[in-house]
Structure 1
Amino acid sequence: MKKTMLLILLSVSLLVKAQDAPVTIPFTLAGSGHIIIKATMDGEEGNFVFDTGAGLNAVFGKYAKKLHAQPTHHFFVGHRSTGEEIAANLLVSKELSLGTLKFKDQYYCSFDLDLPGIDGLISLQAFRNIPVTIDYTNKTLTFGTLKPADKKRSIDIQLSDHAGKAVDIFTNVKLNDTLNAQVLLDAGSGKDVYYISSRLMKPLSIDTAGMQVISRKSEFDTLKTNRYYIGALKSITTENGVSKKESPRVVFVEGLIYEGLTSINWLGKKIAISIPEKKIYIIE
């Protein structure tokens, strides 16, 4: 009886360890700083941008046609960072695979875009219950349990959860060590991107004289034009001072629907996003 119980406990222990074993996949880091991974939707492999600011998975152009997805009656209405409304019909992937990691019944949307070498976007949607570690040095993504040593330094994140269909992450920062602001953390923006709402120019005492000003028409709404003021700040710092970017080149954006939007590479060389704990761990 004791031997039987021992075997059962050993089997359970091995099963738990197998289920918790992290899965690591390589990524390609584009010159723009975008993280490009290989993923498979319903048996079709493609190249995807790992995009923490996408909210929802998306597929593009020719790849979308390969999936032969059946439309559903579900839809999602979101907004670009500059406010344009995007209404998308929702489709369902029976299986999304990243290495040996598999996710069932994942929502995604489809856009008629042709981006050379890119088949779509993978958002944080599938990783609500599993940490994702981004290692910029070794160019890997790891999905799975974190070690205690990985959790020594962290920042808090806030979630924007759209009824289970899409999820974005935010954190609080200090601009010029004085002004508190909440920023969207967007790996899909590339590297060293710092967008700040033009509404914060006055409390930051920003003088527009001498700044480069660009007017740009929206790709989604030709009647909409936004102005971009290109300048710099002394610093952007996480709320608790764990990560800091000195003298960042900043774009103040008219019509930005967030207080700010930044890339994530400035947080550290190796970071782990844990939605269950509402933390980003700064490992290196």
Structure 2
Amino acid sequence: MILFLLTSLTAKSQTNINSVPFTLMESGHIIIQAKVDGVEGKFIFDTGAGHNLLFKKFAEKLNPKKSYNFFIAHRATGEALTVLIHYAKDLIIGNQHFKNQLYSTFDLEFGDIDGLISLQAFQNTPITIDYEKQTLSFDELTAADKRKYIDIQIANYADKALDIFTNVKLNDKISAQVLLDAGAGKNSFWLNARFMEPLQLDSTQFDIQDRKSEFDSTKSNKFLIGTIASIKTENDLAKVVNPKTFFVEGLIYEGKTSIEWLGKKISISLPEKKIFIIK
């Protein structure tokens, strides 16, 4: 009995150690605590970030060395951003300790948020998002956890940025590959404006807006805003009916969506190229 209790307590302790709480904002953004080179901050966990981005005020605390290496990142709207590349000796999230992590900086303020944490650190570590318990966990999954899944495709840009995609079905007839972007918040569905024709949609029935870039006010994209009948995973595990949809001119992907619609508890496994739908 004593041995059983000790084993049980140890298992619970390990489970707690291998998870970190997050704050789920009303917008659907996941906010986590992390340390970069010993400096603690608040970050958005963003599967669409490509790589870690630290906002200027936080980055200055790290006193990064001058860098001549750079990366030209493209936002989903096609806007090019040239950023200098730095490396942090340590990135710590809960009990997960990642060495030599790439990051860039940008002069941007977003309340008390210090930056974006991407999927780059998790190339060998599956990460489970539990929206009900509001935790990120890093435990190994059971066979039962892995029964339901969707396949994902990984875009790795010379080890300087990493994105994930999956194939979806639009209105039960058109296939599209979409970027999976936790940084979009919740209920975010963007499609390339090219899909309006094959979906036989009348653009005059959509609200048309020109939206300026948050990074460069001289740049803008046309958004056609309305609804489609449905979007679902190819294997029918997740489906949204009549989602508000943004058809974007200049979108560099076929589509881009948030990830909360996939399930209440999901695990992203880059090594297995799958997202497991646990709940």
Give TM-score, length-normalised by structure 2.
0.92
Greater alpha carbon shift after TM alignment, 27-36 vs 218-227: 218-227
1:21 CA displacement: 9.8
Match of 2:154 among 159, 165, 168: 159
Q: Is the 8 A contact 1:42 1:93 kept in 2?
A: yes
Indicate the residue corresponding to 1:140 in structure 2: 135
- Aligned equivalents of 2:253 and 2:41: distance in 1? 31
Residues 47-196 of structure 1 mapped to structure 2, 5 A cutoff: 47-196=42-191
**Contact map agreement 1:170 1:185 (CA 8 A) in 2:** yes
Shift of 1:216: 1.5
Q: Tell me how large the CA RMSD over aligned residues is.
A: 1.6
Task: Give distance in 2, aligned partners of 1:231 and 1:117.
Answer: 33
Report how far residue 175 of structure 1 moved. Answer: 0.2
Residue number in structure 1 paired with 2:4: none
* Structure 1 residue ranges (4+ consecutive) displaced by more than 4 angstroms after TM superposition: 18-22
Cα deviation digits, residues 155-211 of structure 1 (max 9, x gap): 000000011121100000000000000000000000000000000000000111232
Greater C-alpha radius of gyration: 1
1:41 to 29, 36, 40: 36
What does the per-residue CA deviation read over 1:31-53, in whole Å, with 9 as the maximum and x for residues that have no partner?
A: 10000000000111000000000
Give 1:117 shift: 1.3
Residue number among 207, 227, 233 corresponding to 2:228 in the alignment: 233
- 2:211 aligned residue (200, 209, 216): 216
| Aligned partners of 1:22 and 1:143 also within 8 Å | no
Aligned match of 1:7: none
* Structure 2 residue ranges without an equivalent (≥5): 1-12
Distance between the aligned counterparts of 1:117 and 1:148, measured in 2?
39
**Match 2:276 to one of 245, 259, 281:** 281
Structure 1 residues 126-152: Cα deviation after superposition (integer angstroms, max 9, x where no partner): 000010100000000012321111100
Partner SS for 1:206: coil
Question: More deviation in 58-67 or 171-180?
Answer: 58-67
> How many angstroms apart in 2 are the aligned matches of 1:90 and 1:148?
39
Helix, strand or coil at the partner of 1:146: coil
CA distance in 2, matches of 1:52, 1:223: 27
User: Any idea what SS the aligned residue of 2:201 has?
Assistant: coil
| Partner secondary structure for residue 133 of structure 2 | coil
Structure 1 residue 221 displacement after superposition: 3.7
SS for the counterpart of 1:126 is: helix
Determine if contact 1:71/1:90 at 8 Å carries over to the other structure.
no
Residues 223-264 of structure 1 show CA distances to partners (whole Å, capped at 9, x for unaligned) of: 432111111011101011111111111011111000000000
Deviations 1:76-117 (A, max 9, x none): 111000101111110110100001211011000001111111
**Other-structure match for 1:14:** none
Matched-pair contact (CA < 8 Å) for 1:21–1:145? no
Distance 2:186 2:26 in 1: 9
C-alpha distance in 2, partners of 1:130/1:55?
A: 17
Identity of aligned residues (%): 54
Q: Which runs of 5+ in 1 are unaligned?
A: 1-17
CA distance in 1 between partners of 2:17 and 2:71 (Å): 32
Residue type of the alignment partner of 2:152: I
Structure 1 window deviating more from structure 2 (39-48 vs 239-248): it is 239-248
